[in-house]
Structure 1
C-alpha cells in the first residue's frame, strides 16, 4: 500500500508537470521515479529535478545528465553508466516509449532487472553489463523489432539463457559473458542470421554445443569457453564463413579438432587451450591463411606437428605446449616472417629446431623446454632484436651458446640449463640492459665466468652450477646491485672468495659448494643483510669461522661442511635469529659445542668429522680433560703408579679366574639389549592416531611415500598426496623433519598435535590424525586440490587464477575468520606464527583454509619469547627483530602482508620495490605520495571505478594491520567487522566456475600470449 507521503509526492509531481510547457509529462515522471529508487553517492543526477517557477519550459529533462532526446522532445538515449549508482531500476522505465539506447553499465545494482524492460519496443542497444543484477533475465526483449545490441555480461543472473531472443532477428551483438546462466545454448539461436558477436563464456552452461550455430553465416566472433560443455566441436562450425575469432578455451570439450575448421579463410584467432581434445592436429589447419593466433595448449593432442602449419604466413602465436606431441618441429616454421611466440614446452618432440628460427621473424618468446630436442641452438634467434625469453631447459642441445644471444639487448630471461652445451659462456651477457635471469647449469661449459657479469645493472639470478668452469670468481661479481641468487656449485673454480660483499643489498642465495676455493671465509660476507642461504661445502677453506656470520639477521641455511676450518664454533650461532639448518661436519673444529638455540637441537651428524668437538649434543668433554691432565702428570705420580700397578697385576690373576664366568653372562645380556634397541629403531610398527573416523590404515599411508607423490617441500617437512582405494579418498601427508633431539622430545610434539587435532573451523585445514613410529611422525590433512594462495597469485602456470576482486576478497575474509577462531574462540588461544600466502590453501570451491601449524603455539604465556625464528621473511612483524616475542599481533601483521599481496598481486619481497624495501614500506611510500591507486593490481581493478574503491577500502585495513606498533593493530574480530563494511556486492568468479579455476581476464579482453602466462 502507498503511504500518504508517497501519494502526496506523486500528486505534487503530476500537478507540477501541468505547468511544464511542451514536456512529455509521462517521461519526466518516469525519470524522476527512476531517480527516487536509486542511491547516488556521487550526486551525478543532481540536475534531475523539476524546474522552478522561473525556469519553466518545454523538454527541460532533455538537458539532464545522461539524457538525450529526439527532435520531438522524447527520450531517445539514457546513459547513466559508471556513476556508482545502486538500488533498483524502476519499472517506470517503460514510460520512456521512444528509448532506443540504454546504458546502465559499470554501476553497483544488485537487484533484478525490471520486467518492464521487455516492453520497450524501441530499444536498439541495451548495456547492463558489469553490475550485480540477479534473478532471471527479463523476457520480451525478443519482441523489440529493432534490437541490435544486448550486453548483459558480468552480472549474477540465474536460470536459462533467454530463448525468446531468437526472435530478435536484427540482433548483431549478444554478450552474456560471466553472468551465471545455466542449461544449454538454445538451438533456436540459429534464427539470428544477423548475429556477428556471440559471447557466452564464463557461465555454467552444459550439454553439447548445438550444431545449429553453424548456420549463423554472419557470425564473426564466438567466445563460449569457460563453461562445462560436453562432446566435441560441431563439424558444422566449418560453415561459419565470416568467422574471424573462435574462443572455446578452458572447458571440458573433447574429441578431435574437426578438419572442417580449415575452411574458415577469415579466421584470425583460434583459442582451444585447456580442454580435453585428443587425436592429432588436422593438417587442414594449414588452409587458414588469415590465422594470426593459434593456441591448442594444455590438451591431450598427440601425433606430429603438421608441416602445413608452416604455410600460415600471418601466424604470430603458435602455442602447443603441454600436449603429447611427438616427431620433429617442421623446418619451415623457421621461415614464418611474423612469428613472435613459439611455445612447445612439455611434449615429446625430438630432432633439431629449425635452423632459420628467428632469422626471418620478430621472435619474442621461444619455449621448447622439457622435450627431447637435440642439435645446436639456432644462431639467429635474436636477429630481429626482439627476443625477450629463451627457455630451452631439459633437452639435449649441444654445441656452444650462440654469440648472438650475448648481444641481444631485448633479452629478459635465459633458461638453457640441463642440456649438453659446451664451450665458454660468451662475453656480453653482463652488458644486456634488462636481462634478469641467466640459467646455464648442468651443461659442459668450460672457461671462466665472464668478467662483464660484474657490470650488470639488471641481473638478479645467475646459475652456472654443474659445469666445468675454472679460474677464480671475478672480484666484484657478488656486488651486482640487484643480484638475489648466485649459484656456481660443482665446478673447478678456485682461489679465494672475493672479499667484496659491502655492496650486496639484495643477495639472498650464495652457493659456491663443490669447488676448490681456499683461504679464509671473508668477514665482509656478514654485511649481506638479506642472505638466507649460504653454501660453501666441499671446498678447501681454512681459518676460523667469522663470528659475524652467526649474527646475520636473515641467514636460515648455512653449510660449511667438508672444508679445513679450525677453531671453535662461534657461541653466537646458538642465538642466531633465523638459522634453521647448520652443517659444520668434516672440518678441524675443536672445543665445546654451545648448548642453546639451533646448536641444542642440531643433528650430531652435522658436526661429525671434527675430532676436537665435544659437549652439547656430542659426548661430554670430560674425557678430553683427563687426557690433558695425564700429559701433565708429575714424575712422582709415575713412581706411585708403578707400585700400584704391581699390586693390580697380582689382583688381576685372581680376578680373571672368576671373571670369565661373569663375562660370559654379561655378553648374553649385552646382546639382548642391543638387539632390543635395534628392533625398536628399525622394526617398530607404524601407529595411526585418528581424530575422526578414517577409512584407511597406516599401511596405506606408508605406501604413498614415493617421489612421484611429492606435492611440496617446506621448512618443516615434505608433503605427499596419498590416494587410497577402499573406499577412495585423498589426503595430504606431511612427513616431518626430525632430529634425534626432536625424537627425544616427542611427547611435547604429541601434546601439541592432539591440541591441533581438536581445531574445527571451515577456514582451517582439518588435521585428520597422524601416523608415527619410534623415529618419524607423519601428519594427515585434508587434501586441497587448488593448491596454495601463493601459487594462485604468483605461480607461473596458475598465476592468472584469481583475476577478480570478489574472489580475492572472499579469500581475505575466510582467512580472517580462521585467525579469529584461533585467537578468540580457542581455549587457550592459538598463535599461528607463520601466516603467509603459501600457508593458505584453496579447496575445490576456492575457499581459503589456513594450513601448516608447524610454528603454532598456544598462548599459555603472554609475550612468549622464542629461540627459533617465528615466521617467514617478508611477513615477520618488525618488533620480532628486537624482542623475539610473539603474540596475536604478530599474526595480524602477517595477515596484513597477505592482504597487500591480494591487493597488489606482488610478492612481499620484490627487487622492484627498491633497496631494502618490502611490500609494506613500498605501499606506504605510494600512499604517502597520494598514489594509492597505483599499488592496486591492474588486472583486478579493470575499468570500473567501484572495484577500485572497494580495494582502496581494504587497503586501509591492510595498513592498519601492518602498523609498526603492535598496539595500533586491530584485533581479528575488528578486522572482520571492517571487512564487512568493504564487502563487494557481487558473486565471485571462482564460485561460478565451480572449482575449476577462475575465469581468465580473457573473458573480457584477450591476449595473444594466453597460456604462456
Structure 2
C-alpha cells in the first residue's frame, strides 16, 4: 500500500491492523494527525513501514517492536513524537534502516538497539536524547551526523563528545551550550522601534542552508537586497504594494516565516518562543523576502512546561489558551502562524473567518473564495495546489487544543518538500 505524497488528513484508522498480509506500507508526506495506532503491531508480515512527514504525535507504540518481519525500512521521522524510544525496537533484528529523526524523543538510546545486527543505517538527529550511546554493531560504524542536535549525547563516535568530559550541573544534569543572541539597534527608524532582533534567526537559518549574506547587510534603508522597505502589514494594506506580492511571493513569505520559527523552536538550545507573530512583525526586504523581527517578547522554553507570562502578544493572532491559562508553549507561535497564513492568502486579517474555518471540514473550503480579490486568480493547477496546501496547513494550526496543532518543524518540512522540491 503506497499512499505517500498526498493530502490525506485525519487519524490513521485502527482498522489498518486488519490487513495481516500487508507487506509494504508507505503513508508518508501527508497531513495525518493523532497517535500512531498500536494496531500496526498486527501487521506481522510487514517488511517496510514509512509513516514519516506527517503531524502524528504521542509515543512510539511498543507493538512496533513485534513486527519481526521488518527488514527494509522503519521510518517514523518528521513528526511530533514524544516518549522514550521503546526497548522493544531492539527485537527488530532483521531491520536494515531506522529513522526516528526530527521528533521530541527524550531520554537515552536503549542498549537493546545494539542487538539489531542487520541495521546498517540509523538516524536519530534532532531529538532530545541524552546519555551514553550503546556500543557494538551499528553504533560502531555510525557517524556524528546521525546523532547531532540532541540534548546531550556522548560516546566514542568521532566528533561526539566523550562521556568523560561532559560538564554537569548540580543534580547530574548536562549543561547546554548557550545561544548567543545578537541585538541589532535600529537608529532613526520608527518602523523598527528601539531594540529588536531584525531577522537574525531567519538569516541564521538561511545562511546555514543557502550561504546567505552577512547580517550586517540587513539594514533599515531602501538600498541593497536586504534593506527593509516596510512590514508585511503595511504592504498588504497598500493596494499598489499588495499587487507586488503575487501568489508565488506570498507562498514564499509563508515558507520564510516557517523556516525562521522552525529554527527558533527546534535548532536553538534552549528552545525559543517568539511570542508575537503577526504581519506587523514580518519585515519585507527590497527583494520581497520576508524576515521575522521584533523578538522583544521572546523567552526561552522550559522543557518542564512551567512557562507562564502576562499577555504580551497581538490580539487577533494570539492562541486562545492564553486567555485563560497564560501557559506559553511553542504551539502558541504555531497558532499565530496559522492566522498569518490566512492573512497572506486573504490580503487582510481573517477576523471572523477563523471561527468559521474551525467549524468546517478542510475539504469543504474553496480556496478561491478566500483569496485576495486584488490579485488575479491563479490559473496554473500547480499554483492552485500550492495555495490549497497553504490553506490546509493554516487550518491545521488553528485547533483550540494546542496539542492538536503541528510543530513548526513539520510545517516547514512539508512546505519545503511539497512546494520547493515538489
TM-score, normalised with respect to structure 1? 0.23
Whether the 8 Å CA contact 2:128–2:151 is kept in 1: the answer is yes
Q: SS at 1:294's partner residue?
A: strand
> Paired residue for 2:245?
none
Q: SS at 1:999's partner residue?
A: helix
> Paired residue for 1:296?
124
Matched, 1:202 2:202: no
Would the alpha carbon gap of residues 186 and 214 (structure 1) be closer, same or farther in structure 2, given more than 3 Å must change?
A: same
Q: SS at 1:246's partner residue?
A: strand
Deviation by residue 1:606-632 (Cα, 9 ceiling, x = unmatched): xxxxxxxxxxxxxxxxxxxxxxxxxxx
Query: Residues of 2 paired with 1:242 and 1:303: CA distance?
Result: 30
Q: SS at 1:217's partner residue?
A: coil
Aligned 1:743-758 pairs, distance under 5 A:
749=188, 753=190, 756=191
Matched, 1:241 2:81: no
2:91 to 246, 259, 263: 263
Query: Residues of 1 paired with 2:54 and 2:417: CA distance?
Result: 11
Matched, 1:231 2:92: no
Whether the 8 Å CA contact 1:294–1:318 is kept in 2: the answer is no
Deviation by residue 1:164-207 (Cα, 9 ceiling, x = unmatched): xxxxxxxxxx2233433333211211121222222222333333
Q: SS at 1:198's partner residue?
A: strand
Matched, 1:322 2:149: yes
Would the alpha carbon gap of residues 980 and 272 (structure 1) be closer, same or farther in structure 2, given more than 3 Å must change?
A: same
> Paired residue for 2:384?
985
Query: Residues of 1 paired with 2:83 and 2:208: CA distance?
Result: 30
> Paired residue for 1:216?
43
Q: Which structure shows the bigger proportion of residues in strand conformation?
A: 1
Q: CA deviation at 1:317?
A: 8.0
Whether the 8 Å CA contact 1:222–1:246 is kept in 2: the answer is yes
> Paired residue for 2:310?
none
Matched, 1:795 2:208: yes
> Paired residue for 1:274?
102
Query: Residues of 2 paired with 1:213 and 1:798: CA distance?
Result: 42
Q: CA deviation at 1:987?
A: 3.7
Whether the 8 Å CA contact 2:65–2:88 is kept in 1: the answer is yes
Query: Residues of 1 paired with 2:118 and 2:415: CA distance?
Result: 25
Would the alpha carbon gap of residues 796 and 817 (structure 1) be closer, same or farther in structure 2, given more than 3 Å must change?
A: same
Q: SS at 2:114's partner residue?
A: helix
Aligned 1:498-647 pairs, distance under 5 A:
none
TM-score, normalised with respect to structure 2? 0.50
Query: Residues of 1 paired with 2:128 and 2:58: CA distance?
Result: 15
> Paired residue for 1:283?
111
**Structure 1 segments unaligned to the other structure (5+ residues):** 1-173, 334-341, 353-370, 373-394, 396-706, 719-734, 739-748, 757-766, 771-776, 800-814, 827-836, 854-870, 872-890, 900-972, 1005-1013
Deviation by residue 1:678-729 (Cα, 9 ceiling, x = unmatched): xxxxxxxxxxxxxxxxxxxxxxxxxxxxx9682x45xxxx1xxxxxxxxxxx
Whether the 8 Å CA contact 2:125–2:145 is kept in 1: the answer is no
Matched, 1:305 2:133: yes
Q: CA deviation at 1:285?
A: 0.9
Deviation by residue 1:948-1003 (Cα, 9 ceiling, x = unmatched): xxxxxxxxxxxxxxxxxxxxxxxxx9x955x9455612146565374443336997
Q: CA deviation at 1:274?
A: 1.4
> Paired residue for 2:404?
none
Determine which structure has more spread, i.e. the larger CA radius of gyration: 1
Would the alpha carbon gap of residues 825 and 238 (structure 1) be closer, same or farther in structure 2, given more than 3 Å must change?
A: closer
Q: SS at 2:131's partner residue?
A: strand
**Structure 2 segments unaligned to the other structure (5+ residues):** 168-176, 213-230, 243-251, 263-276, 291-371, 398-407
Whether the 8 Å CA contact 2:111–2:134 is kept in 1: the answer is yes
Query: Residues of 1 paired with 2:21 and 2:205: CA distance?
Result: 41
Cα-Cα RMSD: 4.8
Query: Residues of 1 paired with 2:62 and 2:211: CA distance?
Result: 32
Aligned 1:800-949 pairs, distance under 5 A:
819=235, 824=240, 842=257, 851-852=282-283, 891=286, 894-895=287-288
Q: CA deviation at 1:325?
A: 3.2
Q: CA deviation at 1:257?
A: 0.8
Whether the 8 Å CA contact 1:199–1:223 is kept in 2: the answer is yes
Query: Residues of 2 paired with 1:791 and 1:324: CA distance?
Result: 20
Query: Residues of 1 paired with 2:87 and 2:5: CA distance?
Result: 30
Q: SS at 2:35's partner residue?
A: coil
Whether the 8 Å CA contact 1:201–1:1003 is kept in 2: the answer is no
Query: Residues of 2 paired with 1:185 and 1:297: CA distance?
Result: 25
> Paired residue for 2:78?
250
Q: SS at 1:257's partner residue?
A: coil
Q: SS at 1:230's partner residue?
A: strand
Deviation by residue 1:482-512 (Cα, 9 ceiling, x = unmatched): xxxxxxxxxxxxxxxxxxxxxxxxxxxxxxx
Q: CA deviation at 1:841?
A: 5.5
